[in-house]
Amino acid sequence: MTTTDSCPPQANPAIGRMPRPATMTTNIDVATLVDADGGLIDRSIYSHPGIYQQELRRVFARSWLFLAHTSQFSKPGDFFTTFMGEDPVIVTMDKGKNIKAYLNSCRHRGVRLCRADAGATKMFTCSYHGWSFDLAGALQSVPNEQAYPEDFEKKDWSLLEVPNVASYKGLIFGNWDPNAAPLEETLGDMRYYMDAMLDRDPEGTEVIGGVMKWELEGNWKLAAEQFATDWYHVNMSHASALMVMSPTGRGPKPDIAATPGRQFLAPNGHGAGFPTHPKSRFDSRAVHEYYDYTALRERLGDAAVEGPMTTGHATVFPNFSYLPVNGSIRVWHPKGPNKIEVWAWILVDKSMPDDVKDAQRLYNLRTFGPSGIFEADDGENWSEIQAISGGFVTNQVPLNFQMGIGSEKEDGTYPGQTSELYSDAAGRSFYRHWANVMNDPAWHENTAKTNTPGDTP
């Protein structure tokens, strides 16, 4: 593990307009910590404070991050507050009904400008000194403005705007990189697997029931990676839940427990896994009976209905995950190397009758809600991994991601590369991309002057 200075000491033109010492942005070379070809991962990537700080700079400050769902905004002034990495942001609809996002920090003394989770407003006013900003982020009111120097201009103190905000079939993402590749280009083949959940209904989707939030002890990558790649844990970790949910109470039949399936892996870290056994679908009976599978096959194709629409799991790199079976979409917000704050929504098709939507909501809560029978198992596993990762000897023992090495291929049925369902292929791809991003200087580390958040082109 080696360190390098990410930028010279004289300036960091993108993040701040004041010079910073190089030691504040020293980066770690993680190349030797991820052996994606050999399937070995150094577990220090989950616990090292310097690696975590580098993730905030090089992963979260340059990736497309999930912000909200379009159904959370219906009129100008509607807003929702969330995080991009550990940076707080306000997502709002402006007067032109465009979705915008701003750093949730007053430009005066840096207090969090909006402390409400969601709501509607005409102006964001800081509770500290009263600076007020409109829906376009422009500073409109400064108490005692006459006390400021003559060259003080309110237009110079607008909120810092997230330069790239885009949506894909109802999901809103933001990216701090002014020159980021378009969202759909970044998603690539992952769109096919997302469509199996997002494009079932010509009317689209909506979120219901608010946002569920809970904390877990563990590193954000443990959760994101599992949702990208890991079906292997299901029969062991969720054995009791599978017994409860099976018709006989004795668990699934052997042919279902050893279900066939595929695992998608993307070169930019996305991943999805899904069984293809016809009896692996275990969504709510009301939801199952509601769907017209013949119509869905015509809309999505046979392969999508038999695969990604079933009981699957997926992650859009770095930290957005979803479960098609119960409409759970979630973000793994990093809160330090050892803590995750989970934010989860319940996603339903707009055309569903209210009783079917409610069945989906209840099924979601029973399975993957904060106290769901599956969710509790997963959280315990991640917390157990993290709890011992600080040990001197433990921290030096590599982790095994070798299942399915060499099985990746273009299978002719599903877009992109896929592997067997029981495989670590998407996990290896997730960490390969993570390592590449971590070792590649980000847009804000370029010493040449470029357009930056808040700049006027």
Residues with a known catalytic role = 129, 230, 233, 238, 378
Tell me the C-alpha to C-alpha distance, in Å, between residue 110 and each of 104, 105, 134, 454, 456: 9, 5, 17, 15, 22
Asked if residues 163 and 176 have their Cβ atoms less than 8 Å apart, the reply is yes
Which residue bears the tokens 């964001």? 124
Q: Which two tokens stand for residue 2?
A: 């080696």
Q: Going along 324-440, which residue ranges are E strands? A: 328-334, 339-349, 399-400, 409-410, 417-420
Pairing verdict, β 118-120 and 124-125: unpaired
Residue 368, SS3? helix
Nearest CA among 266, 432, 318, 268 for reference residue 65: 318
- Residue 366: CB partners within 8 Å, gap ≥ 6? 372, 373
Asked if residues 159 and 103 have their Cβ atoms less than 8 Å apart, the reply is yes
Asked if residues 288 and 273 have their Cβ atoms less than 8 Å apart, the reply is no
Positive or negative torsion for Cα 426, 237, 274, 66: negative
Positive or negative torsion for Cα 286, 342, 166, 305: negative
Q: Which two tokens stand for residue 25?
A: 């942005």
Q: Which two tokens stand for residue 423?
A: 């495989």
Asked if residues 261 and 276 have their Cβ atoms less than 8 Å apart, the reply is yes
Alpha-carbon gap, residue 183 to 396, rounded angstroms: 37
Positive or negative torsion for Cα 409, 237, 430, 60: positive
Residue 210, SS3? strand
Asked if residues 168 and 174 have their Cβ atoms less than 8 Å apart, the reply is no
Alpha-carbon gap, residue 301 to 57, rounded angstroms: 40
Which residue bears the tokens 């958040």? 453
Q: Which two tokens stand for residue 347?
A: 């996603």
Asked if residues 92 and 107 have their Cβ atoms less than 8 Å apart, the reply is no
On the CB side of 143, CA atoms within 13 Å amount to 9
